[in-house]
Amino acid sequence: MTWRGRPAGVVLALGPAVYTAYMFAQYIAGPAYQYYPRVLTFHLALFVLAGSIGTSAWSATKTVRLPMLPHRQARRHAIVLVLLAAFVVSRYVPALIDSWNDRRLAGEHVREPAMYWSVVLLDLGVVVPVTVAAAGALWRSARDATKLLYGVVGCFALVPPSVAAMGITEIVNSDPEASVSRTVCLGLAALVFALYAVWLDVRLARRCYPRPQES
């Protein structure tokens, strides 16, 4: 879309760029390598590329005229974002409770503590605050609220499928920490998030930015 000069392309690029940076930050810091892995350069390159694309896309949206959402519609989207943030927080309620008692990590988190804590940091320290901030901007009908909406929802549409895929892999490999119920719930969440994102993206691409007429 960007190649064809359609301004919606730079808005839709925000979600995948943020998601890629989010994932590869975990892939670099999470494994707690005791050696220099061959894949390091590749992961670093993808992380830098995602950051560059995300920054460029955000800058480019300043020149794109995004239609302001009607006040009621913007507030409905704000409520959805708050629910998405609550969904993320709900996954860490046991960890937050255990942190008051200095309890030890259990299960799969013991095997890969660096990976676990990198995900906790990104989810609770970045994803949730940004999502809540985007919800607040939508509630106030702020200037950048619409592009924040597309960026946050685009990222949310990609994270649950990756976690669900990890759960499926654990089941297939008979991992002792595998959980069918958890994987099914994440799969359903992935479907709901994807449908919401596709609905938003189609409205942006087809209704907000009709194909420019050739002279």
Helix (H, G, I), strand (E, B) or coil at 107: coil
In this prediction, residue 215 carries a pLDDT of: 46
Question: Could you tell me the two tokens for 30?
Answer: 């999470």
Report the distance separating Cα 17 and Cα 198, nearest Å. Answer: 17
Question: At residue 213, does pLDDT exceed 70?
Answer: no
CA atoms within 13 A on the CB side of 25: 17
Model pTM above 0.95: no
Report the distance separating Cα 115 and Cα 98, nearest Å. Answer: 18
Helix (H, G, I), strand (E, B) or coil at 197: helix
Question: Could you tell me the two tokens for 69?
Answer: 């959402």
Within 10 angstroms of residue 135's Cβ, the number of other Cβ atoms is 25
Percentage of the chain modeled with pLDDT above 90: 33
pLDDT top residue among 14 and 205: 14
When pLDDT is averaged across residues 56-81 and rounded to a whole number, the result is: 83
Question: Are residues 47 and 24 in contact, defined by beta-carbon separation less than 8 angstroms?
Answer: yes
In this prediction, residue 209 carries a pLDDT of: 52
When pLDDT is averaged across residues 145-154 and rounded to a whole number, the result is: 88
Task: Write the pLDDT tens digit of every residue in 95-130.
Answer: 888 888 878 887 677 778 888 899 999 999 999 999
